Chain A
């Protein structure tokens, strides 16, 4: 019984990790439907940023949020303006895929040049300390990640549903042309959404860096799962993505223990496929009709 609780706790923590990394992607991919394969590399750059701030200034890694989040916001806006925006005019979404895959490869190799292939370790400053709750042991940093993911998801949900800008974002996502006719500055909204999505990745990077070694390929470990989480939760549903992340984390952990570590990906992707077959719009997604999405 104790072991089962520990396995579940590990799964919950892993789910929190997937959730925090996916938050930015729900906005960029889930809401405005831009496929950004460089998402993982944004995370990797944020982790290096956290590492540099923490080791360079000797500060607690969380302080790095002041530098990393605005930096990633700018990176997101620039990516949208310089790479995605010109391609949107091309009218074929597949080009975005190639462009962002290219960006991803370029960023990985740039990081290889700048930082080398070695790993960089952000000092944990107590975040690796165990938190013992009854029979269960987890890390302080993992609990922070889970809590931060929940807060970020709730905050984003409120932002999208309650604020003028949030409504504008959803309007642009639903129908670009109609939104423009209503007087929304579509270009600005796209840039802003991308910036906010990237800034969320910045928050994730600051929280993840003290727990995981950073290397140029760190981002690739996260990106596939992040896409799975967003699709599983239901495109466009931010709360759904959070639920999807927790589910994936639990399946991964349970399968890793009870089935065997070599089969956990089979289990995760098997469940993913099964859910998509049974509920093509994802677990929490509304019925997906693409008719209203402008080309």
Chain B
């Protein structure tokens, strides 16, 4: 009998200790592909989130509590689901941040939705992420639709004039890798091009794991295409640019849709001379007007200090700003229940030009950040410099004479 009382007291004390320990911290999930094929940019994305949390904690945490990140490895879609379950039921996170990959995000956010736990998507671009009417999913980053819109905007606003033609005189060729990424971006490009009355002469998909694009290059050349829009990964970006060059196909402009076009290895593989002048639409990158992206230098410094190297892509930056805006906003409410968190983020209202990514923040229909926007970059002298919009540009857009 006495024994039982002692045990009960001990359990109660331990529970009490556990409760106080838990009260000192607030836990959030960091769900990204940390291993497997998507590991490189998954890890890069998570680094942005980690830097945001470091800065928040250095400034006193959220509602006076220290933020603790619990990692979940979404190596494939099934594991994304399993890890989301673990984060929610075992780790008891207040919300989940993620996830770089659209497929992982779509799978894991279903779990969060069913459990009523907020899920903040900071980097996946597919339409379906916010297109499913989920109540607890919020997305801060720009999407495939923004990418298609920007490409057409650049053609109408800058490229046509640069090539000395009217927009509707240009022959546009759209090519894309035929998984959901390329198909959805190309779909938006077609839609916005039709809206702007551009002349799209061909739109062709191809498998990303292709070994030869010479037929496609010949086809574009035969049609006299002036502007090529390509949405692609690394391998097919390299292949297209090389084979176009080797076949003597020199369109007035090539506009890439993120992916391979934003990556230094592509430029190094293709050759800086060949990629010179190639345009790209993507998340905010680092060679950008810092007056439009205040705080970007501080981010790069923090990144270098923490990870001993420069950021490998703009993914970390976009995750960093998205996470920081959300975590800061949680100071405006009390407690971390799903309802208080969603109430807080609905109040976010950040104008463009005041954050390190440039774009603003305000959640609109489907909980998508309606102020998110992509930027236009151009490869100049082996570097990807921002050329569009004007307020973010560090160099004028250049055209082959």
Cβ of A28 under 8 Å from chain B = no
Interface residues on B, range: 20 to 34
Chain B residues lying within 8 Å of A281, measured Cβ to Cβ, are: none
Cβ of B363 under 8 Å from chain A = no
**Contact of A215 with B234 in the complex, beta carbons under 8 Å:** yes
Q: How far is the CB of A79 from chain B (nearest CB, A)?
A: 23
Cβ of B308 under 8 Å from chain A = no
Chain B residues lying within 8 Å of A7, measured Cβ to Cβ, are: 215, 218
Interface majority SS on A: helix, strand, loop or mixed?
Answer: helix
Cβ of B206 under 8 Å from chain A = yes
Interface of chain B residues 217 through 255 with chain A (CB within 8 A): 218-219, 222, 234-235, 238-239, 242, 246-248
Chain B residues lying within 8 Å of A130, measured Cβ to Cβ, are: 246
Please give the number of chain A residues whose Cβ is less than 8 angstroms from any Cβ of chain B in the complex.
Answer: 37
**Contact of A117 with B235 in the complex, beta carbons under 8 Å:** no
Q: What 1/0 flags go to A216-253 for Cβ under 8 Å of B? A: 11001110010000000000000000000000000011
Q: Indicate which residue in A112, A118, A262 contacts B204 across the interface (CB closer than 8 Å).
A: A262
In the complex, A228 Cα to B218 Cα: how many Å? 26
| Closest B residue, CB atoms, query A138 | B246
Q: How far is the CB of A284 from chain B (nearest CB, A)?
A: 24
In the complex, A229 Cα to B11 Cα: how many Å? 69
Q: How far is the CB of B310 from chain A (nearest CB, A)?
A: 14
**Contact of B211 with A17 in the complex, beta carbons under 8 Å:** yes
In the complex, A101 Cα to B120 Cα: how many Å? 37
Cβ of B294 under 8 Å from chain A = no
Cβ of A137 under 8 Å from chain B = yes
Given the known inter-chain contacts A213-B234, A213-B235, please indicate yes or no for A257 contacting B218, CB distance below 8 A. yes
List the 8 shortest-distance A-B pairs measured between CB atoms, nearest first.
Answer: A256-B215, A257-B215, A117-B40, A10-B214, A261-B206, A262-B205, A121-B269, A261-B216
Apart from A222-B211, A261-B213, A262-B206, 15 more pairs, CB < 8 Å: A3-B218, A6-B218, A6-B247, A10-B214, A14-B214, A130-B246, A137-B246, A139-B246, A221-B211, A225-B211, A252-B215, A254-B215, A257-B216, A262-B205, A264-B215
Binding site for B on A (CB under 8 A): 3, 6-7, 10, 14, 17, 109, 112, 116-119, 121, 128, 130, 137, 139, 212-213, 215-217, 220-222, 225, 252-257, 260-262, 264-265
